[in-house]
Amino acid sequence: MLPALVPGLRVRQWPDLGDPREIRYLAAWTIPPGLMTDLPDLGFALSIGAGVDQLDIGAIPVAVPLLRMAENAIADGMIEYVTMAVLMLHRDMPHYLAEQAAAHWSPRRRIAAAERRIGVMGTGMLGSAVLERLACFGFALSGWSRSPKDMPGVRCHAGTEELPAFLAELDILICLLPLTPETRDILAGPVFRQLPRGAAVINAGRGGHLVAADLLAALDSEHLSAAILDVTDPEPLPADHPFWCHPRVLLTPHVASSTDPATAAHFVADAILRHREGKSLPGLVDRAAGY
């Protein structure tokens, strides 16, 4: 599909690269060791996922722009997943699933969406799309990012100094951060303790954001009510990991969203054409920030 979108483009698949000096653009999930030194004429390197944490960024020469897949279909998948997870928590599904297994009939009072406080850590491409869609239900929304934001209908917080205020007012915390040295292990005891008692957590960022032992302690002490985890560290979890059968943990196998080859081809074609024309590149990664 890609050659049809970019005049004159020939696609080579590693390890059959032919003469590596002819390679102008590299799209990869991970980069085989030593490959970069064989590619002296790269116009850009592209992560085929929305994140770049799986890449050895240091192996990519600073002069080579690093891009990530920042296309709408990834946001569409994430909107579906997070909306499902939020509605499951909002409508007490972890409780009803456990009650069904025990053959119990125990209705709970429905809480109005406007009373349910939902916060998204990471209000970038995915977090902002999720917040926009959750607004349709009338939830009380807030967001937390590195730099200050102004989003209609969303209480915006920025930086570590505003993290406590953000956490203190949440019933459901959603992590859609990139995994960087600053955000690794962020979903841990100190953050959980700042959430109101009974809050729930959704992690659709990366498994490395979560300290599993701290989540288990927070669930078992009933400070947190439930967790929905799409990502874990490692993936998959070992068969004896307590998350598999914890009654208040719902696990999915890193399926919240993914790159759709058809729409991704349009993103890559656009990036190549823009590079050829000397225009700004889409999905440019800030190497210093790590995302």
The secondary structure of 103-122 as a DSSP string is T-----PPPPGGG-EEEEE-
| 126 touches ligand NDP (CB under 6 A) | yes
Question: Binding of ligand NDP at residue 124 (CB under 6 A)?
Answer: yes
Please tell me whether residue 119 binds ligand NDP under the rule CB under 6 A.
no
Tokens at 71, concatenated: 């296309």
119 vs 178, beta carbon nearer ligand NDP: 178
Question: Of the listed pieces 9-17, 34-42, 201-209, 262-270, which binds ligand NDP according to CB under 6 A?
Answer: 201-209
* Chain length of the chain: 291
Nearest to 210 by CA among 158, 238, 164, 175: 175
Q: Given 3-state DSSP classes, what are the helix, strand and coil percentages for the chain, each rounded to the nearest 5?
A: 35, 15, 45
Q: Which of residues 58-77 bind ligand NDP (CB under 6 A)?
A: 74
Closest approach of Cβ 238 to ligand NDP, in Å? Answer: 20
> By CB under 6 A, is residue 250 in contact with ligand NDP?
no
Tell me which residue has tokens 């995915």. Answer: 126
Cα–Cα distance between 276 and 228 in angstroms, integer? 43
Residue 26 C-beta: closest distance to ligand NDP, Å: 19
Closest alpha carbon to 149 in 164, 132, 169: 132
In this chain, which stretch among 1-9, 27-35, 54-62, 177-185 interacts with ligand NDP, using CB under 6 A?
177-185
Size of the site for ligand NDP (CB under 6 A): 30
Residue of 68, 95, 206, 248 with catalytic role:
206
- Phi first, then psi: give them for residue 20, nearest 5 degrees: -60, -20
Q: From the candidates 254, 274, 275, 287, which is the catalytic residue?
A: 254
Token digits for 260? 């759709």
Which residues lie near ligand NDP (CB under 6 A)? 50-51, 74, 78, 122-127, 144-147, 176-180, 182-183, 204-206, 230-231, 254, 256-257, 291
Catalytic residues: 206, 254
